[in-house]
Amino acid sequence: MQTRRYSQKREAIMQKLMSTKTHPTAEWIFAELKREYRDIGIATVYRNLNDFCANNEIMSLGRINGHERFDAITTRHDHFVCQDCEAIIDVAHDSTCGEDYAIIEPETGVKVSSHHTTYYGKCKNCAALVSAV
């Protein structure tokens, strides 16, 4: 992990990410911070998010419907993505859910360090809308 000088904007980016469970995009973080930091640029947000990811301080969930989403929680957990409203919900990891490295490693010759599971479907709010129709 590299040593970084303190930056008020860097701290604000991290705090904004930690303050939400929505797994936001860089654009959302930028829009939220722009109110307080008029001179912040989207490149600053992206640069710091990439730096946080590189230092394992946050994680990228990859692109979901064309937008990279971020998570401040780096402990082992999975995600559910609603295919209607695009909500991303944390799912507690169940230790019986398939970290069967004893099978994967010998079959492929790889050394597994971690994996991530993402479930897709309709969240309870979207499912309720379908049921109500």
Statement: the pTM of the whole predicted model exceeds 0.85? no
53 alpha carbon, distance to own chain's centre: 10
pLDDT of residue 89: 94
Query: What percent of the chain has a predicted confidence (pLDDT) above 90?
Result: 62
Give the chain's domains with CATH numbers.
Answer: 1-74 (1.10.10.10), 76-133 (3.30.1490.190)
**Digit-coded pLDDT (tens) for 22-44:** 999 999 999 999 999 999 999 99
Say if residues 87 and 123 touch (Cβ distance below 8 Å).
yes
1 confidence band (pLDDT: 50, 70, 90):
low
Distance CA(88)–CA(79), nearest Å, equals 6
